[in-house]
Amino acid sequence: MTRQRLATAAMVLLGVAGACLGEDSHEHDAAGHAASHLFARDTITDGWFGLGEKLQEKGITLSLSLTQIYQLNLAGGMSTHRRSGRWAGSYDLELELDLEKIINLPGGSIYISAEGSWSDGLDASSVGSVFGVNADAAGGRSIDVTQFYYEQSLLGDKLRVRVGKLDLSGGFECRGCPVAFDGNAYANDQTGQFLNGALVNNPTIPFPGLGMGAVIYVEPMEWLYAAVGTADAQADGRETGFMTAFHDADYFFSIFEMGVVPELPSAQGPLVGTYRVGFWHDPQPKDPHNGSNAKRDDVGFYLSFDQAVWKENADADDGQGVGLFARYGFAHSDVNEVKCFWSVGGQYQGVIPTRDDDVLALGVAQGKLVEAAGYTKHHETVMELYYNAAVTPWLNIGPSVQYIWNPGGDTSVSDAVVVGVRAQMSF
């Protein structure tokens, strides 16, 4: 499907939703009932028009989502005229197969995800940020199989093993919190949380492209976990992964993470937090900035913390309240462009009365840049404020404002102000 058709289809859906909202329920009872049903659904198709529930009973779960983002560089950066406004987006198709239901294999499952996207966003043409003001922008791709792995769960889910084409930057949960690797409850998803790349993942971690790999995840106690993973360091997410994994140099990126997930007592119930520490190793030869011989075996470490600090009520299923997060990362300055990094921030869910699922969040991130790599400013810093409004269970819309100090670590580029709006739909 072309980019224009995708944008048109999404606008039609939004138009239909708007039309339904505009109906006078007193004069058009039937239309009002239909609109009420539409907006109460978890997905636009209401579970694939009823087929989804039947498929789940057979062990098959299928989901489709669409994310659309428009951003405009209002001031500063490289240019406020040359393509300073840009529309970008992505569509994600996910398929999960429960092999216990399908072929009676206890604990076995297969996960497949495919993604298509359009536009590179406005960084290269207008802003020039090191981190990127739109982490969802992935260029023009019709559709790529981004993950395809087998998972085996053992010992009552205390031990899980994944093998196949996978994404190392997330995928496991402990007490409902994202972990393994560099996860964060409040800053880890560009389709619903922060858009800036520095507030999605730690830029000091040289995560490889999506490729062949394996992960072992262990949860010996409810509040304690550890994970180790390895993946093809030369992977290209657009390919199957076999060529670079088995027919190229044997460079495999590896990463280890462990963490604790405590529950702090409060008057409204437990406040969950996650405290992660991780180490990584990249064996690929890298050219030092001083021009000396290439070095192998690059290493670094990172921290990622999040903590709920206040709950609005005692309902365990209600997420209203305040949560805080922080990250830190270190990498050697002789072969990396960002030698250390930190970020802090927080979110408030339900800040507006009756808007229980809406989220307001603010985050600040800074990376210390290596001058020998060609940067003329020591840091790039970003502050982002977003509001994510849950219009319906299947539609979220909200604005985002970013201020970037020293974009690209370049003295000739002034501070930038980027505004945008994001719509995320589940089919």
State residue 21's pLDDT score: 41
Whether residues 4 and 53 share a domain: the answer is no
- Phi, psi at 99, each rounded to 5°: -75, -15
Give strand pairing partners of 404: 382, 416
State residue 299's pLDDT score: 97
**Who's near 287: CB < 8 A, 6+ residues apart?**
294, 335
Whether residues 273 and 304 share a domain: the answer is yes
Q: What pTM value is reported for the model?
A: 0.89
Whether residues 28 and 58 share a domain: the answer is no
Q: Closest by alpha carbon to 39, among 356, 396, 351, 315?
A: 396
Kindly report the CATH number assigned to the domain that includes residue 179.
2.40.160.180
Tally of domains within the chain? 2
State residue 171's pLDDT score: 83
Whether residues 187 and 233 share a domain: the answer is yes
Whether residues 9 and 157 share a domain: the answer is no
Low-confidence ranges of the chain (pLDDT < 50): 1-26
Tokens encoding 230: 């390895």
Whether residues 134 and 198 share a domain: the answer is yes
Domain of 12, in residue numbers: 1-40
State residue 34's pLDDT score: 63
State residue 245's pLDDT score: 59
According to DSSP, the β-strands at 395-405 and 224-232 are unpaired
Whether residues 299 and 334 share a domain: the answer is yes
Cα–Cα distance for residue pair 382/417, rounded to 1 Å: 10
Tokens encoding 234: 């030369």
State residue 123's pLDDT score: 86
State residue 81's pLDDT score: 74
* Contact in structure between 229 and 163 (CB atoms under 8 Å): no
* Contact in structure between 187 and 364 (CB atoms under 8 Å): no
Counts for the chain of helices (H) and strands (E), in that order: 6, 19
Whether residues 14 and 125 share a domain: the answer is no
State residue 239's pLDDT score: 76
CA distances from 165 to 106, 135, 144, 318 (A): 22, 21, 12, 35
State residue 50's pLDDT score: 87
Whether residues 30 and 95 share a domain: the answer is no
For 33, the 3-state DSSP assignment is helix
How many other C-beta atoms are found inside a 10 Å radius of the C-beta of residue 152? 15
Whether residues 85 and 168 share a domain: the answer is yes
Whether residues 207 and 170 share a domain: the answer is yes
How many other C-beta atoms are found inside a 10 Å radius of the C-beta of residue 178? 22
Whether residues 258 and 395 share a domain: the answer is yes
